[in-house]
Amino acid sequence: AEGIVASIAATTGADGRPITPGKTTLVDLAAYTVKRHEPVCMAYRAFWICGAPPPAGGITVASVMGILERFDLAEFGPTAIDGEGGKPTVQGVHLVSEAERLAYADRDKYVADPDFVPLPGCSADALLGKRYLRGRAALIDPHRSMGTAVAGNLGGALLGVVPQTEHGTNHFSIVDAQGNAVSATTSVEASMGSFHMTHGFLLNNQLTDFSATPVDARGQSVANRVEPGKRPRSSMAPTLVFRKGADGSIGDFLMATGSPGGGAIPQYVVKTLVGVLDWGLDAQQSAGLVDFGASNSPVTTLGGEHPHINTTNDGASDPLVQGLKALGHRISLRAQPSGVNTILRTRTGDVDRLEGGTDPRREGVVLGDTVRP
């Protein structure tokens, strides 16, 4: 291990090559500490949803789901359901996208490395409180898109917001014979990371996950600004779902899911969770369902690579596209890079089984003791 660490420092610092040298030293690597944080968990209907805490994206997923709990999403499930999840409805996409705008607005303002920028109230409770999310949900007009949301007023230090782009990752979900479940998302930030490699490891380029500017146009500090020793904000959102126990506590494991996809990861995870928990889709249907959602901008994305979306003449003949436009959404039909991988625990009679689903948009695969490539 010491040899690998020394090689990392030597590789990043090597000059005279076409790859820009880095500044990482052995002293930096020696000072790095692995920190264990408790997951962010939220009760949602008959389930508990648990995800990665700040600076990762689990709090964004939880915020979206907490807002959506105020709506009867089952009423707005996909139509003509097939192996690819069917056709999403206008109101289903509208409600989910509006909830995401609100959650992304809060994330962009408040979420960063909590060791440097504490969350309001110094915990996730303020952002995920039932009363607060009820107020956020009340901002959603079922007949009109809000376009761009404003972050909630949670007091504390004045923080600014600047636009930020994020890139790709990988995800895997595993459940073993004893029922232990893992949902893991990894990243080198972008394809090939920093382009430095040592001992088979591609070194990451995560510095670009910080805000490139420390203050916004009004001179207010940005929570995700660069600081020494700080961890950058990430959209990665590996997620575990459990059934509620009889006493309302976390019960039996139900689902492991997650996705690559940069800043859109929370949208892909939310789509999958809603697909299973509200719309009754199976693991494969929810992974293959049309990608849809929004960050905090007037643009709502519909994955134009999906066969259920008619992209001809910019969706002029697609009822979902036109229905959303009638509600004020600006639609992007850009192909989506999601890579959802899901394991779902199902029960038939007294028999439990594990069901896998993988996103057809990438090269994922489902494997198990009864499944072979």
What CA–CA distance (Å, rounded) separates 354 from 345? 5
Structure tokens at 194: 């920093």
- The beta strand positions in 74-203, using DSSP E, are 170-175, 181-186, 197-198, 201-202
Q: Are 206 and 228 in contact (CB under 8 A)?
A: no
Place of tokens 């232990």: 180
AA letter at 108: D
Active site residue 311: no
Short-list 299, 298, 322, 300, CA closest to 310: 322
Residue of 11, 24, 89, 169 marked active site: 169
Nearest to 272 by CA among 282, 262, 261: 282
Q: Give the β-pairing of 299-302 and 330-332.
A: parallel
Strand-pairing partners, residue 330, are: 299
Take residue 62 and report the two structure tokens written for it. 């939880």
Give rounded-to-5 percent helix, strand, coil for the chain. 30, 20, 50
Active site residues: 169
